[in-house]
Amino acid sequence: MIGVHWDISWHRSIGRDSFWTPAHLAIQLCGILAGISGGYLILATTFADQSPLRAASVRIWGFRGPLGAFIAAWGGIAMIASAPFDNWWHNAYGLDVKILSPPHMVLAAGILAVHVGALILILGYMNRATGEEKPRLRALFLYVGGMILVVLTVLELELTSRAVMHSAVFYRVVATVAPLVLAAVARASRYKWAATWVAGVYSLFVLLISWILPLFPAVPKLGPVLYPVTQFTPPEFPMLLIVPALALDLLWQRTARWGAWKQSVVSGVVFLATFVAVQWPFANFLNSPAARNWFFGTIYFGYNTSPLSLYAKYQFIPADATADFWREMVIALVLSVLLIRLAFACGDRLQRIQR
């Protein structure tokens, strides 16, 4: 994910250069490493009779290995396959300057699979582990869960800028990923502060990236240059997901005996209410002069950001019509509830993963 954020920053500050940029190579190296690691685990388990993993492995196409290794290897292959597809896409359509495109989704599916593979690999060990090993594995598990939240929020970057944080669509978009990840990881880990840790990993990762990237000089190599850039343009300040995550952890500690549906409905309401309650006023702050510093990062813009845009002028997009606003908010709430219920179901199954 460092490569992904680096690449997005590269596109915003330097512009597209070639396939062989360091950021692209970092992304693809991740796919290659995942493929090699997963492949090694699979081959070692398959061909070494004395492999300690052999009993705790699954069988696919005559090979044996931990389930997570197969998923990570699948992700590695998908990431590598996305490269020529993406390159052809640029050559055919010239469409590059956006995150949401079919080849980028293949890449995202690969990155997500690498993370989910790692998550399940750890989970298998964790569920079999006893004693001191278990908390260490749980910490790893929560870290990977946080990185999955980073992956999914990157996909939403174009739809979650501070200019849209007073639009209901923003909350609907966030509701499609955050509750799912927070609830699934929390349920699978059976740890009472899991959601807070996951959101904390996400927040810390994005904060570090947003503080470190601008330390490096960069100048646009592409035109039109609408905004003069002298350093790598970082991502925006992380969303305040840590607050609803903390609220959910507190809620789940007190509602463990509730039925899954009842718990999901209340969780959905709590997630959305707390997130709106903190992010809405925080968006006001981000658009204010007080946030125009390196810490909150609203002084940074991409070279192709029009100075006339609402974003550059620290303004919000026009307010939704009342009916539209509430319709989107209701959809956001329903999504939150349903995805948390789905996450509970997945989490319950993940708790039983042994291999």
Partner 1 sequence: MKRAPAAVFFQLPLAALFFALPLVAHVGSPDVFYEGDAGPYHLLVTIRPPQVIPGVAQIEIRSASRDVQQVRIVPLRLTGPGAKNAPVPDVADRSHDDPQFYTGALWLMNTGAWQVRVQADGAQGPGMLSVPVPAAALLVLPMQKGLGVGLAVLGLVLFIGMVSIIGAASREAQLEPGKEPDAPHIRRSRIAMGATAVILLGTLWLGATWWGSEAGANEKRIFKPLQLKATVENGDRLALQLNDPGWLNRRTDDLLPDHNHLMHLYVIRIPAMDLVWHLHPERTGGDTFAQSLPSMSAGRYALYGDVVHENGFSETATGEIELPAINGQPLQGDDAGGAAAPVAKADYNSVVAPLSDGYRMVWERGPMPYRARQPYEFRFRVEDSQGRPAEGMELYMGMQGHAAFVRTDRSVFAHVHPSGSVPMAALGLIADSNPHAGHNMMHGEPPAEVSFPWGFPKPGEYRIFVQVKRAGKVETGIFDARVEN
CA proximity to 291, closest of 143, 198, 115, 165: 165
Give phi and psi for 217, each to the nearest 5: -70, 150
CA distance 42 to 58: 10
User: Could you tell me which stretch among 60-68, 164-172, 234-242, 246-254 binds partner 1 (CB under 8 A)?
Assistant: 60-68
Q: Which secondary structure element, helix H or strand E, spans residue 65, and what is its range? A: strand 63-65
By C-beta, is 127 or 274 nearer to partner 1?
A: 127
By C-beta, is 106 or 266 nearer to partner 1?
A: 106
Contact between 204 and partner 1 (CB under 8 A)?
A: no
The minimum distance between CB 115 and partner 1, in angstroms, equals 15
Contact between 16 and partner 1 (CB under 8 A)?
A: yes
Altogether, the residues listed in the chain come to a count of 355
The token pair at 74 is 């699948």
Contact between 314 and partner 1 (CB under 8 A)?
A: no
What is the pairing mode between strands 58-60 and 63-65?
antiparallel
CA distance 284 to 293: 15
User: Could you tell me which stretch among 65-73, 129-137, 292-300, 328-336 binds partner 1 (CB under 8 A)?
Assistant: 65-73
CA dihedral 331, 317, 291, 13 (to 10 degrees): 100
The token pair at 307 is 């100075």
| CB crowding 133-152: b at 16 or more within 10 Å, else e | eeeebbebbbbbbbbbbbbb
Q: Which secondary structure element, helix H or strand E, spans residue 243, and what is its range? A: helix 242-254
Contact between 55 and partner 1 (CB under 8 A)?
A: yes
**Beta carbons within 8 Å of 26's beta carbon, 6+ residues apart:** 2, 3, 6, 7
By C-beta, is 113 or 144 nearer to partner 1?
A: 113
Restricted to residues 219-278, the positions that interact with partner 1 (CB under 8 A) are 219-228
The minimum distance between CB 58 and partner 1, in angstroms, equals 4
Residue from the set 3, 15, 235, 268 that interacts with partner 1 by CB under 8 A: 15
Contact between 156 and partner 1 (CB under 8 A)?
A: no
User: Could you tell me which stretch among 33-41, 69-77, 200-208, 243-251 binds partner 1 (CB under 8 A)?
Assistant: 69-77
CA distance 117 to 34: 9
User: Could you tell me which stretch among 91-99, 137-145, 191-199, 313-321 binds partner 1 (CB under 8 A)?
Assistant: 91-99
By C-beta, is 22 or 102 nearer to partner 1?
A: 102
User: Could you tell me which stretch among 155-163, 213-221, 268-276, 334-342 binds partner 1 (CB under 8 A)?
Assistant: 213-221
Q: Which residues bind partner 1 (CB under 8 A)?
A: 15-16, 55-56, 58-61, 67, 70-71, 74, 77-78, 81, 84-85, 88, 90-97, 101-102, 105, 120, 124, 128, 219-228, 303-304, 306-308, 349, 352-355
